[in-house]
Amino acid sequence: MASSVMLFFKAQVLSGVVPGVTSFLPPSSSPGWAEDINNATLGFQKVFVVGLPSRTDRRDGMLLQASLSDVDIEFVDGILGKDINEKAIPQTKKKDENQRMGLPVIGSWRAHMNAIHEVVRRNLSSALILEDDVDWDVRIREQLRDFAFSTNALTQPLRATPSSYSDPTFPTAPSDDSPAVSVADISFHHLPAILPPRFSPYGDNWDVLWIGHCGMHFPAAGRPGAVPRGRVIHSDDVTVPERRYLWTLNDPFTLKDQYPEHTRAAHHVQEGVCTLGYAVTQKAARQILHEIALRDVSDAFDITMRFFCEGVRGHRRHTCLTVQPALFHHHRPAGPAKALSDIGDHGDEFRETASTDMVRWSVRMNADVLLEGRRDFWDVIDLIQGANANGMVQLGRQFLSAAYLMASYDTGKFQMRMANPTNDQNLVAVTEKGFEVTDNFCAADKTPTDSGTGGNAGNQTDPKTGTPVARSKSGTPGVISGVVIAVLAIVSLIGIATWFFLKRRKAAVAGRKAAVAGSQDPSRTSPHYDALPSQTKDVHMQVYPKPELQGSSPDPSSHQISPQAPGPHSNYRYELA
């Protein structure tokens, strides 16, 4: 059994350097254009935060977080779907009322359109648009600087040959019927020499930078749209968590499955999910108003942005770049789960501990450290399971929530993926000291195993204090009741099987008597076996194989689906049961 899951560990920071790890600070040879990222708007002309004015709790949190990061933000008011004038919702095609998107989706769409509206109205050269529940790393400027180096490598002309690019599929990717083009990964540590950007530190040829999301695919031949396939791979990025802490709503998760630990990748947008944070240029904002604000609200905003970037579903393709893992992620504060979303139902649970996924030095989780002017930041490691190590019910909920259902609008199929798959099916809760937590509803007699902490893992522990206590030798009432019920069930099954066997035997005897009587009647003839049709002879020999469903959408009304146990980093596989 694995040892105790640690909630936090402290990383002492001396002049921005983690001991034993390569420095993450910008090199002294950074070009001048990269310095613009250090300004109060992170290299953009404006930073907008979208949210409902009534969510003052979120606005307080975002304002504090931005001030701790020296980022100047401006709030843009969102709106509830029910408060939008029916006539203001574009409808360019006749459709039934039941084909309309739900009011929460329409409200979210309009909130983002309000932000895009401001970019165009003020004639801003660029703007970063964030949702009001995001979190980011203390080192966000260093992360954005590295991302800017990557986007320039993908979209800026080469210095030696200004008519060409390091990505042979940019700016126009070959179609599926074109000869195959080999695209090698570009190492972040060996970037090509490019012409320096003139208008933005992120390059001169981008429309959207989608840097806050819930999942992305690497562009590849055969996927929707002719999306350029270049990648910049940043290995040994100390701001990236270990692979086991990464998750995505997209499947497959190529970054996690095929690249080493602490790898971040920059590439063009393909099948993005969630618009937690994205930047737009003035040109792109005008195009979004034209192609999204003034057309039917037929999909959620993030899905429509996907189509906008890829150039599918009636949209022109645009140059949209992204990064995996994302740089902006959802923050889940402590408190009622229903407060986590204004457009979805998160239930009536209560979160005891705040958390942010895939952000190592979270600004929100390190607010106390930053307010005190210290540099010993908490590194958030396995926060969810660590915070709920002593709660069996919470552990079960978090484990189940690690399975995600992803619907592909392009293929019309759904996929299910585990966020943190494991071969160990014996899931238990442990205290902070590494002792197993066992309640009455758990198995009362487990084989003692070494917890790796020097504690007596073979004993029970007090769920509140974590102090080892001796296991009871006698069974608990729940265990005794279970044994009695099991014995009664087995006896019942044996009785039913015996009755069925005797009934079949009696029927067989009667059949033989009838056959003997029939053979003595000369007026009745029995056809010869060889004269029977082949289908009749082989009807008892037919075998109907179970078809496997891989990536297909089974019909839940006609079949029962049962998952097989997945291996590490593998997807659920389904068979018809």
Report the CATH number that the domain containing residue 101 is assigned in CATH: 3.90.550
Q: Are 572 and 566 in contact (CB under 8 A)?
A: yes
What local confidence, expressed as pLDDT, does residue 494 receive? 87
Nearest Cα neighbor of 354 from 338, 342, 337, 369 is 337
Of all residues in the chain, what percent carry a pLDDT higher than 90? 48
Q: Provide the pLDDT confidence category of residue 181 given band limits of 50, 70 and 90.
A: confident
In a domain, 452, yes or no: no
In a domain, 461, yes or no: no
Nearest Cα neighbor of 467 from 422, 435, 493 is 435
Q: How large is the average pLDDT for residues 207-229?
A: 91
472-528: pLDDT as tens digits: 444 545 556 667 777 888 888 888 888 877 877 777 666 665 554 554 454 444 333
Query: Domain range for residue 199?
Result: 41-174+182-331
Total structural domains within the chain: 1
Angle in degrees, 0-180, between the axes of helices 103-121 and 301-310, rounded to the nearest 10: 50
Give the three-class secondary structure for 281.
Answer: strand
290-336: pLDDT as tens digits: 999 999 888 999 999 999 999 999 899 999 999 999 999 999 998 87
- Integer Cα distance of 148 and 156 in angstroms: 11
- Integer Cα distance of 246 and 212 in angstroms: 14
Q: Which residue has the higher pLDDT, 107 or 554?
A: 107
- Integer Cα distance of 493 and 487 in angstroms: 10
What local confidence, expressed as pLDDT, does residue 423 receive? 42
244-302: pLDDT as tens digits: 999 999 989 999 999 999 999 999 999 999 999 999 999 999 999 999 999 988 899 99
In a domain, 546, yes or no: no
What local confidence, expressed as pLDDT, does residue 567 receive? 38
CA angle at 505 for the pair 500 and 508, rounded to the nearest 5°: 125
In a domain, 285, yes or no: yes
- Integer Cα distance of 310 and 320 in angstroms: 8
Q: Taking 50 as the threshold, does the pLDDT of residue 427 lie above it?
A: no
Q: How large is the average pLDDT for residues 401-413?
A: 43
- Integer Cα distance of 425 and 417 in angstroms: 16
In a domain, 352, yes or no: no
What local confidence, expressed as pLDDT, does residue 491 receive? 82
Instruction: Give the DSSP H/E element, type plus range, for residue 395.
Output: helix 392-400
132-170: pLDDT as tens digits: 999 999 999 999 999 999 999 999 999 999 999 999 999
Q: Are 517 and 540 in contact (CB under 8 A)?
A: no
One DSSP character per residue, 295-306 reads S---S-HHHHHH
525-545: pLDDT as tens digits: 433 334 434 443 343 333 333
3-state DSSP helix/strand/coil % of the chain, to nearest 5: 30, 15, 55
34-58: pLDDT as tens digits: 999 999 999 999 999 999 999 999 9
Q: Taking 80 as the threshold, does the pLDDT of residue 353 lie above it?
A: yes
In a domain, 29, yes or no: no
Q: Which backbone phi and psi does 51 adopt, to 5 degrees?
A: -175, 165
What local confidence, expressed as pLDDT, does residue 507 receive? 73
In a domain, 287, yes or no: yes
Q: Taking 60 as the threshold, does the pLDDT of residue 443 lie above it?
A: no
Q: Provide the pLDDT confidence category of residue 12 given band limits of 50, 70 and 90.
A: very low
The listed range with the strongest mean pLDDT (6-20, 303-317, 460-474) is: 303-317
* Mean pLDDT, rounded, of the chain: 74
- N- to C-terminal Cα distance for the chain? 32
In a domain, 25, yes or no: no
